[in-house]
Amino acid sequence: MWSHPKDFHALQQELKAGKQRFTDLVQHYLEQIQQQNNAINAFIEVWEEEALQKAAFYDEHPEDLPPLAGLILGIKDNLCYKGHKVTAASKILEGYEAVYTATALQRLIDKGAIILGRLNCDEFAMGSANLYSYYGPTRHPLDLTRVPGGSSGGSAAAVAAGMVTAALGSDTGGSIRQPAAFCGVIGFKPTYGRISRYGLIAYASSFDQIGPITLSVRDAALLYQAMAGKDPMDNTSVNQPVEPWETIQWQQPPKVAYFKEILEDPALHPQIKNAMEKLIENLKNKGIVVEGVAFPYLEYVVPTYYVLTTAEASSNLARYDGVRYGFRAQAQDIEELYVKTRSQGFGKEVKRRILLGTFVLSTGYYDAYYAHAQKVRRLMKNYTEELFKQYDFIVSPTTPTPAFRANERPDPVAMYLNDIYTVFANLTGIPAISIPFQERVERLPIAHQWMAPWFKEAQLFSFIKHYL
């Protein structure tokens, strides 16, 4: 029976030592998918034959294994993989096959990762619960009545359920960190521009960022380092050196800030508040300066985020019209084709966000909503720059509550408020990671979130290694 250690490094040592075979490892995960996926619905499609062929090749050539050999990876269904279907969990891309591979994914494949299949998500990454998928909702691995979070809910659920070693997701406003928090795994969003978005189906281009969901912080750092770097195919990717986090030394303990308004937020679950207060006390006992600071923008982060992202979404999704690719409705003329294809191809939540985005960009409302939201975003970035002159990191809860039941958030606005603590990192572009607490609420995971200055991912990983 395959023994499944939580850390990829330990897993790889067993493989390199010949104690286990790569094909046995892939077969183990395939069995986990077969046993659990009907209930959880994390995987949309499994590429069994392809994964087993690559594993067999590694078994036959153990003398020269690539650095990520043994990493069995699932990918969110908005990442392109040449020759494989990709639909962003939407009917409008039904049957579409990618004609190129996302740069981030290609870099992992080049280093030896085995891609096991594509994972369920909210349609076009729009959601906080993985309830808005053309393929049906994903369920929480620990409680099938609850949501796994979204939009990368399939990725988080697959990792938490032991169906893969790790998974890729995309984070527009917390879509990696929030489901990671709900499912009790690690979710990491790097600095905007650190990892190429080429091959990621766009939701909101100035917010989207690819990142890993893993079982350990070490694995998250490993995948991040493998994917990061400038890409000539993405002019928003940044040519910044990727520092090795393992060699960073702390001459003195760092300074940490937390937002007082978040810990005093009435929406914050009291047991998550208690866990945060205990964490802060433990950090202080280790000699770390931890101070509460005023955050005057808490009530504005969600409205600002949704005005800007829906505006970008309404523009990005205009390309899905039934003419070039994907689903095409039966119609008598071109106008009817557009109307029927988009009406039948998009789900309810996507339509809602397209309409909102079109509204805030329309004549007479642009200055009142979109332009105003851009100014608030700039204020938040300026505030963050000043804050990081005094502090090394910011800590907060990842979510206000543990995973909720699938029918508990019927109001779209209530659903949007699940992102209240995570969207700040996307609005400002800073890196952020969600780490589970040891404590649980009603047997469900809860998590804390760490944010660092732009391009200080190495310092963030080093801090976690030394102090958490």
pLDDT of residue 414: 81
Over residues 257-274, the mean pLDDT reads: 96
* Structure-model confidence comparison of residues 325 and 397, the more confident one: 397
Q: Whole-model pTM? A: 0.97
Provide the number of structural domains found in the chain.
1
**Which sequence positions are flagged as catalytic?**
76, 151, 175
183 domain-assigned: yes
Q: Which of 58-62, 310-314, 374-378, 446-450 has the lowest mean pLDDT?
A: 58-62
112 lies in which domain range? 8-245
pLDDT at 1: 33
Has residue 244 got a pLDDT over 60? Answer: yes
In this prediction, residue 418 has a pLDDT band, given cuts at 50, 70 and 90, of confident
* pLDDT confidence band for 6 (50 / 70 / 90): low
Average pLDDT, stretch 140-162? Answer: 97
**Within-domain flag for 180:** yes
Q: What is the mean pLDDT of residues 157-161?
A: 96
Between 76 and 252, whose confidence is greater?
76
Cβ-based neighbours of 29, under 8 Å, separated by 6 or more = 72, 116, 162, 163, 164, 165
| Contact present, 448 and 279 (Cβ < 8 Å) | yes
Return the pLDDT at 409.
Answer: 76
CA-derived radius of gyration, the chain:
21
- Flag whether pLDDT at 430 surpasses 50: yes
User: Given this model, what pLDDT does residue 16 score?
Assistant: 82
Percent of the chain's residues with pLDDT above 70: 99
Burial class (CB in 10 A: 0-12, 13-18, 19+), 340: middle
What's the pLDDT at 373?
98
Better-predicted residue by pLDDT, 8 or 171: 171
Residue 181, in any domain of the structure: yes
In a domain, 363, yes or no: no
Which is higher by pLDDT, 414 or 245?
A: 245
Per-residue pLDDT reduced to its tens digit, 346-358: 999 999 999 999 9
Taking all residues of the chain, what is their mean pLDDT, rounded to a whole number?
A: 95
Residue 236 lies in a domain: yes
Torsion 396-400-405-408 (CA) sign = negative
Those residues with Cβ within 8 angstroms of residue 285's Cβ, 6 or more apart along the chain or in another chain: none
Cβ atoms of residues 178 and 445 within 8 Å: no
| Range scoring the smallest mean pLDDT among 95-99, 411-415, 436-440 | 411-415
Of 153-167, 272-286, 402-416, where does mean pLDDT reach its minimum?
402-416
Which pair of structure tokens corresponds to residue 193? 């521009």
Q: Per the domain annotation, does 87 fall within a domain?
A: yes
For the domain that residue 154 is a member of, what is the CATH number? 3.90.1300.10
- In this predicted structure, the answer to whether residue 13 has a pLDDT above a threshold of 90 is no
Indicate whether 449 belongs to any domain.
no
Residues 420-448 have a mean pLDDT of 97
Residue 27: inside a domain, yes or no? yes
